[in-house]
Amino acid sequence: MSKRPIRVIQWGCGLMGQIMIRYLRDKGAELVGAIDRNAARRGLDAGEVARLDRPLGVRIRHPEEADAVFREARADVCILCTRSTMPELVDSLKLAAHHGVNAITIGEEAFYPWTTSKALTEELDRLARSSDCTLTGSGFQDVFWGNLIAVLAGSTQRITRIQGLTRYNADDYGSALAQKHGIGLDPETFAARIGASNAPSYVWNSNEWLCARLGWRVRDIRQQLLPTTHTEALRSTSLDREIPAGHATGMKAVVVVETHEGPVIETHCEGKLYAPGEVDLNEWTLQGEPETTVTIRKPATPELTCATVVNRLPQLLAAPPGFITTDRLDMAPHVTRLEVAA
Ligand code: NAP
């Protein structure tokens, strides 16, 4: 059977989008469109922005031109690396669905948005079904807060509690993430602006994903958003300023889920500026019969995020239409070439 490269529009060409562009090129996909609103990138060649060895001949265009990009590109899929929440992502996802183009986003809420943005997700689901394309969310949590734990659960006789700890460097991402994590706020402002907010944190959605995957029904879910601090000043490269000692260096979200079936999931998720010696961490313990702990020390979180999405592309093209969260799909296989039947 003859094959052709998967045709991709990259929407959002910041830190994650640039890794994505490199990984797509390395696996033989064809970049057929690129969109970003940041003036520093607009108009430039996507290959140059991603620091590839040669230009790709694809100019990064403003979101106002997105409709034209979709019309001209005849893409199989759009990868969306712009923002985190469903309200922020919905217009881009709608446009992809309107053009019948599959879309996958690393926006954290999209990983399992069925309760936190119910109406928007159901609307997108209807739209995607009617235009015969698939929308989904993926990223680091797909494997490291989701499938990895589901695999271990499959070899555990009885689970009473799942305890997760995940930590990432807030400076590995753009300024939007730094602001959402309250970096630089004094303790009172953090408490008022972030601590008192009921916006779902990333592991709210991933804990709900885990429940869906494991067949557990959520009885109660609650979260606390706490500042992380350091005893000395730390520099934030994404905000380009010094954060005084005692001010928030980031945020720790603690999300506890109680289920009707009995098991409890408690996840601690820290995104912060690192003090010397701190590294990314992903550690999960399944308590029950027997108890198992898996520790991934120093996961390369940005690279793993993008590789997961890229490996999911062929599967996304074959998935049923609708908003299909990955709890309903097999785990992403490792893919060597991003090709589809011609
Ligand atoms: P980044 O470096 O700031 O890049 C995002 C780019 O998208 C920026 O150039 C931004 O422009 C642009 N943008 C934002 N909204 C847009 C829109 N509606 N249309 C066109 N361009 C738009 O951020 P990043 O580190 O790549 O992260 C992107 C998002 O992915 C963040 O929300 C982050 O939290 C999320 N993320 C998820 C995972 C995961 O595993 N799920 C991992 C990493 C990051 P401006 O600079 O003008 O805003």
Task: Please indicate whether residue 60, judged by its CB atom, sits closer than 6 Å to ligand 1.
Answer: no
State the pairing for strand pair 102-105/77-80. parallel
Task: Please indicate whether residue 150, judged by its CB atom, sits closer than 6 Å to ligand 1.
Answer: no
Q: pLDDT per residue over 46-82, tens digit each?
A: 999 999 999 999 999 999 999 999 999 999 999 999 9
Question: What residues have CB less than 8 Å from 154, skipping those under 6 apart?
Answer: none
Helix (H) / strand (E) containing 309: helix 301-318
Pocket test for ligand 1, best of 62, 80, 81, 94 (most atoms within 8 A of CB): 81
CA of 258 to the centre of ligand 1 (A): 32
pLDDT interval class at 1 (50, 70, 90): confident
**pLDDT recorded at residue 144:** 98
Q: What is the mean pLDDT of residues 175-198?
A: 94
Distance CA 329, CA 42 (A): 35
Distance CA 298, CA 133 (A): 36
3-139+303-341 adopts what CATH topology? Answer: Rossmann fold (3.40.50)
Q: pLDDT per residue over 291-311, tens digit each?
A: 999 999 999 999 999 999 999
pLDDT interval class at 198 (50, 70, 90): confident
Residue nearest to atom 31 of ligand 1 (CA): 83
CA of 342 to the centre of ligand 1 (A): 32
Task: Please indicate whether residue 38, judged by its CB atom, sits closer than 6 Å to ligand 1.
Answer: yes
Give all strands of the β-sheet with 292-297 in edge-to-edge order.
218-228, 250-259, 264-272, 158-169, 281-289, 292-297
Structure tokens at 218: 């959520």
**pLDDT recorded at residue 98:** 98
Q: What percent of the chain clears pLDDT 70, i.e. is strictly above it?
A: 100
Domain span(s) for CATH 3.40.50.720 in the chain: 3-139+303-341
Cα radius of gyration rounded to whole Å, the chain: 20
CA of 49 to the centre of ligand 1 (A): 15
**pLDDT above 90: residue 332:** no
Ligand 1 atom at minimum distance from 35 CA: 20
